Amino acid sequence: MRPDGKTAPSDLQLKIVLHGTRPPLWRRLVLPSDTSLGTLHDAIQVAFGWHGGHLHLFTDEFGRGYGDAARLTDIGPGFGRGVGDEYATALGDVLAEEGARLHYVYDFGDDWEHRITLEKALPRPAGAERTVRCVGGRRADVPAEDIGGVWGLAEVLELLEAPDKAGHGPHGELVAELRAAGYDPAAFDRDGMTTRLAQLTPDMVSGTAKPPARDRTGHCGVRWLTAEDVAPCTCGQCPVGAGVDEPAEGVPVLRPVTLAPQEDLVAAVRGVPLFDAALRLAAWCREGRQVTGGRVLRPALAREAVEELQLWKLADGDSPYADAVGRARALKSLRSAKDVAVLDDPWRLAVDGGMITISGGRAWGGAATDFADEDLLEFWAATMGDLLEEIGETGVLDGWHGELGELTAGIADGLVGLLYNAPDDAWADVDDLRAKAREAGENGPEFDLFQALFAASFRQLGKELTLLGAVEYEPGDGDDPAEQALRTLLNAAGGQELGSSGTSAVASDRSRDDRRGDRMRLTPLGRYGLRAYLMECGVPAPLLGEYAEADADALLQGLRGHSPEEMRQEVEGWLRHRSAADAAVGLLDACAGNDPEAAAKRAVARLVLAGLDDPRALRVLRKAADSDVEGCRQVATATLGARSGQEARVDPARAEAAGLWLFIDGLSLFVTAQEGEELVRGFLEHRTTMPEALGHRVDDLWRVEHPATAQVLAELGEGLRGVDKQLAKRMRAAANKARSRR
């Protein structure tokens, strides 16, 4: 630490991955912590071969954006609003601790997405030169811009690897130029890149820029399923799935979770049959194996790989490779490795993950231990993220389109959210979820249709995630009768397939009451992968204990959505890192302000401050209660007023006034969010718990000197019309008095 109490400048080692590239294209850069995000932008442009002709935007883990607001505004009115100045924001302030992430997108047409992770902070010796340098990476720069993003890049690389393919089409000219220039997509010149980066002069910023307001809307359309959602309308208009334009308040507040140690997660990845098979294939190709023009093993080698590596163990029960006789017959008639699912799936995984590279007509791999643990875990998480993104767009049932396709995609997205928010080791049971919907009185043809789609999506999602080791999945005894009827109807109507569970006819003939439904639960590896996906989507996904060394402002923002027990654990860990007096000062400082964020923090701060019994903390509270800082004064006064005896030392009338101010303050959150029903519910709940403060003083609420008093009272006056006409009239009268006082 420096004498002024601020963190001493250091160098930050960042890993930057171009999302969606297979094999992964990434760079490891080192930049000063006190340089700006603008310098990081310049470094990324150099490190990936970009030319800087398109717009870009950074997004942090809290959904806050940073960039060039003036240029972003050119896209459309208001687009750059709320975006922080990247050249006034210190890199170390946004990436404040190891593991912190940042998202960078370049070119909003091609959408080149970069995932930035702070791997570690490196102490910088006094007087050392401030530089930007490259210390690692993989694969060559992107050969051109405006080629359609990662999908266009994949097509260009495929054409480069297949000389026999025609050089026409949108990328024909580019491919010809790259071939003539000897472009090698697998080449990476770290020294040359460091030389280019050395031409950058990292600026220095104070790190005092105020972060932009949080825009918590993620780009992945994540939405959480509750028991009530198991029975929505199927009109195609209701919000079963959330789109990218969903308002910020629609982003879920996630419960904090704990993650398994990295070494356990890596071991779990290596134990996933599909990934284990890919690693064994890579080792099998260590000396080079001949491939066809389609970049797959020649048929004779494919047969050898299936038998020697026992890849047939990946086969489903209905696969011809599941038994020895069927396997021998299938291998004998094999004409292409693409026809062998038990080989094709791990082969594609190995090639996409860079475990196997193809050059000179041969496939070259390495030993399983050659693939670094952190790279393997990152690749696994990216693979799961790709699956979840595809599910969010198309659902998990093949061949479904239109409104039904969107509905199944929404169901699958909601189920993923339900799995994440479930307690550790808790099973999600399809029958339990549907029973809750029936208890709510749902029935009718639309409900039956949704129930069948829900059961089918549940089953297929369980199978898909099981392949990655993300869930434990236990199939039920057989098909649901409604699902069977749906299969018959759809197959007859349009040829769309609704897969069978593969269970016996005897089991499926059981009555609904006797039948045991499918169930699944997240594995520790699945929780890790799902959290990585959520973070990449811009959805805050807190870890229990991650705020231990954070400031009070960050703590109060993070505690929203915690259960009482989770909040207790988080606060106890936070208090262990500071004195009670410092804790009280920080919490009260965070209570200042008139915006909704400040009001939300005040509600949480009162709960935390109520547990501080240290005499030094009480002295801080008494001092704040006598201050003229709005928000801080009321929180301190109300907290002291709730205490008994000499500890309080506050006039009861002042404590009651502070309580009313905070009451209006809390209700103002619902007004801001335009949630009229929640506003009325909040008022009625407080009315029963604070009878003296409210029951006898409703007509005097207009006297509360809060900036939102008139608006809150007016909204209550309207919202209470159907609940209590007399009370609604008194509220409207009080609102008029509050307006006239301005």
* Per-residue burial over 346-374, b = 16 or more CB atoms within 10 Å of its CB, e = otherwise: bbbbbbbbbbbbbeeeebebbebeebeee
Q: Which has the minimum average pLDDT: 94-103, 531-540, 659-668, 711-720?
A: 531-540
Residues 521, 561 within the same domain: no
Residue 519: CA count within 13 A, CB half-sphere: 14
Q: pLDDT tens digits for 462-486?
A: 988 999 999 999 988 765 555 565 5
Q: What is the pLDDT of residue 660?
A: 87
Q: Are strands 65-67 and 84-85 parallel, antiparallel or unpaired?
A: parallel
pLDDT at 540 over 90: no
Same domain, 566 and 686: yes
- Kindly give the residue spans of alpha helices, DSSP state H, lying in 49-171: 69-72, 91-94, 149-161
Backbone angles phi, psi at 29, to 5 degrees: -115, 155
Helix (H) or strand (E) holding 60, with range, is strand 56-60
Tokens of 575: 């208090």
Indicate whether 361 and 387 sit together in one domain.
no
**691: pLDDT strictly greater than 50:** no
498 and 566 part of one domain? no
What's the pLDDT band for 30 if we cut at 50, 70, 90? very high
Q: How confident is the model at residue 37 (pLDDT cuts 50, 70, 90)?
A: very high
The DSSP annotation for 531-586 comes to HHHHHHTT---PBTTTTTTS-HHHHHHHHTT--HHHHHHHHHHHHTTS-HHHHHHH
pLDDT, the chain, mean: 78
* Confidence (pLDDT) at 23: 73
Q: Is the peptide bond before 615 cis (omega within 30 degrees of 0)?
A: no
Residue 33's pLDDT band, with cuts at 50, 70 and 90, is very high
Answer whether residue 328 shows pLDDT above 80. yes
19 part of a folded domain: yes
For 628, counting Cβ atoms within 10 Å of its Cβ (0-12 exposed, 13-18 middle, 19+ buried), the class is: exposed
Shared-domain flag, residues 601 and 735: yes
Do residues 585 and 722 share a domain? yes
* Confidence tier at 221 by pLDDT (50, 70, 90): very low
Task: Specify if 595 maps to a domain.
Answer: yes
User: Tokens at residue 445, please?
Assistant: 């043809």
Do residues 492 and 597 both lie within one domain?
no
Least confident of 566-570, 639-643, 658-662, 684-688: 684-688
Does 507 have pLDDT greater than 80?
A: no
Give domain status of residue 512, yes or no.
yes
**What are the structure tokens assigned to 659, written together?**
């309580």
- Of 144-148, 165-169, 524-528, 651-655, where does the model show the most confidence? 524-528
- Looking at 626-672, list the stretches that DSSP marks H as alpha helix, in order from N- to C-terminal side: 632-641, 652-672
pLDDT tens for each residue of 590-641: 998 887 788 888 988 988 998 888 889 989 999 999 999 999 999 999 999 8
The band of 432, judged by pLDDT with boundaries at 50, 70 and 90, is: confident
User: Which pTM does this prediction carry?
Assistant: 0.57
For residues 397 and 469, membership in a common domain is answered with: yes
Domain membership of residue 263 (yes or no) is no
Q: Name, of 47-51, 105-109, 145-149, the range with top average pLDDT.
A: 47-51
- Please compute the mean of the pLDDT values over residues 555-567 and round it to a whole number: 80
Task: Say whether both 581 and 639 belong to one domain.
Answer: yes
pLDDT at 666: 84
Instruction: Look at the block and give the residue holding tokens 């109060």.
Output: 556
SS (H, E, C) 407-433: HHHHHHHHHHHHHHHCCCCCCEEHHHH
In a domain, 640, yes or no: yes
**Cα–Cα distance measured from residue 44 to residue 28, given in angstroms and rounded to the nearest whole number:** 10
Q: Is residue 712 part of a domain?
A: yes
Taking the C-alpha atoms of residue 246 and residue 223, their distance in angstroms, rounded to an integer, is 10
Does 416 reside within a domain? yes
Give buried/exposed letters for 440-467 (b at 16+ CB in 10 A, else e): eebeeeebbbbbbbbbbbbbbbbbbbbb
The one-letter code for the residue type at 523 is T
Do 597 and 734 belong to one domain?
A: yes
Q: In the prediction, which pLDDT does 25 show?
A: 87
For residue 59, list its beta bridge partners: 65, 103
Residues comprising the chain, all counted: 742
Residues 177-192: what's their mean pLDDT? 86
pLDDT digits (tens, 9 = 90+) for 363-374: 998 776 667 778
CA–CA separation, 34 and 104 (whole Å): 19
What is the average per-residue pLDDT within 279-305?
89
Domain count, the chain: 4
Planar angle of CA 75, 81, 85, nearest 5 degrees: 100
Looking at the fold, whether 595 and 666 belong to one and the same domain comes out as yes
Q: pLDDT grade, residue 695 (50/70/90)?
A: low
CB-count burial class (<10 Å; 0-12, 13-18, 19+) for 45? middle
Report pLDDT for 53.
Answer: 85
Residue 176 lies in a domain: no
253 burial (CB, 10 Å; 0-12 / 13-18 / 19+) is: middle
Rounded to the nearest 5 percent, the helix, strand and coil shares of the chain are 50, 10, 40
Phi, psi (rounded to 5 degrees) for 49: 80, 20
Q: What is the pLDDT of residue 104?
A: 93
pLDDT score at 696: 65
- Give me the percent of the chain exceeding a pLDDT of 70: 77
Domain at 31, CATH number: 3.10.290.30
Write down the pLDDT at residue 509.
43
Burial environment of residue 580 by CB neighbours within 10 A (0 to 12, 13 to 18, 19 or more):
middle
Full residue range of the structural domain in which residue 24 is found: 10-139+188-197
**How far is C-alpha 136 from the geometric centre of its chain's CA atoms?**
27
The whole-number pLDDT of residue 241 equals 28
Q: Across the strands, what pairs with 12?
A: 31, 121
The string of pLDDT tens digits covering residues 257-269 is 889 999 999 999 9
Mean pLDDT score, 403-425: 80
Same-domain check for residues 414 and 518: yes
Confidence of residue 508 (pLDDT cuts 50, 70, 90): very low
Q: Residue 116's beta-bridge partner residues?
A: 16, 102
| H-assigned helices in 49-161 | 69-72, 91-94, 149-161
Q: Please answer whether residues 86 and 36 qualify as being in contact, where contact means their C-beta atoms are separated by less than 8 angstroms.
A: yes
